[in-house]
Amino acid sequence: MVKRKLSRSEAQEEAAAYHEAGHAFLAWDLNIPFSRKGVAILPQGEGHCSLRRQRALEEVHQAIDVSGKGRLRMERVVQVCLAGIEAQQRYRPSSIEDWHGTEDYHQAVSLIAHFSPHPRELAPYIELLRIRVQIRLEAEYGWKCVETLAAALFEKKALSGGEITDLIETTMSGKCVQLLAVPANGSSPLALSLSA
């Protein structure tokens, strides 16, 4: 099947769909709930991801919980903030403009600054969380889910939280889990494929 060439505005919308799909997948994967509005791409190719991320950001800023549990929660939210630009970068690096992901990045830095205010800590901490996002997106199941969400978002322009969950769960149910079985006698391992 030959894919038709997209117009410039369609290409921008498709890139925005991948960006928002990255946020949506990471939120699902890290168990951060969606609002009923879900995710949408707007006419100029600008995305809008309506997760409860904004509420989570406000809660963190109002009552900073510097406990271990608070730090882990913050790391999950930051990974969702960083996931959009990372998904867009993986999809098509040339689709990224200088301003893409700026707001997401500033939100991530603002959150991390509560836990690691020193600049020497801040940059490596962000980089660690960015790498964690990349690893999740590079996983076969992760990227397949992002592609599925992006295609649906590009086609429909908006997905509810329930639609996002259904699409991810359907994609995940079709994946194949590779297990490595090592025989007791020490001979060569056997690769077994089991449906998840």
Of 131, 111, 136, the closest CA to residue 122 belongs to: 111
The rounded distance, in Å, linking the Cα atoms of 131 and 79 is: 9
Domain boundaries, the chain: 8-195
Name the token pair of 11: 């290409």
- Chain position carrying tokens 């992006």: 150
Are 16 and 46 within 8 A, CB to CB? yes
CATH-assigned architecture of domain 8-195: Up-down Bundle (1.20)
What is the pTM (predicted TM-score) of this model?
A: 0.78
| pLDDT tens digits in sequence order for the chain, 196 residues long | 556 666 767 888 899 999 999 999 999 999 988 777 788 887 554 555 544 444 445 554 556 677 888 889 889 999 999 999 999 999 998 888 766 678 888 888 888 888 887 889 999 999 999 999 999 999 989 999 999 999 999 999 999 989 999 999 999 887 544 333 444 444 444 444 444 3
- Edge-to-edge strands, sheet with 34-41: 47-51, 34-41, 158-159
The rounded distance, in Å, linking the Cα atoms of 106 and 101 is: 9
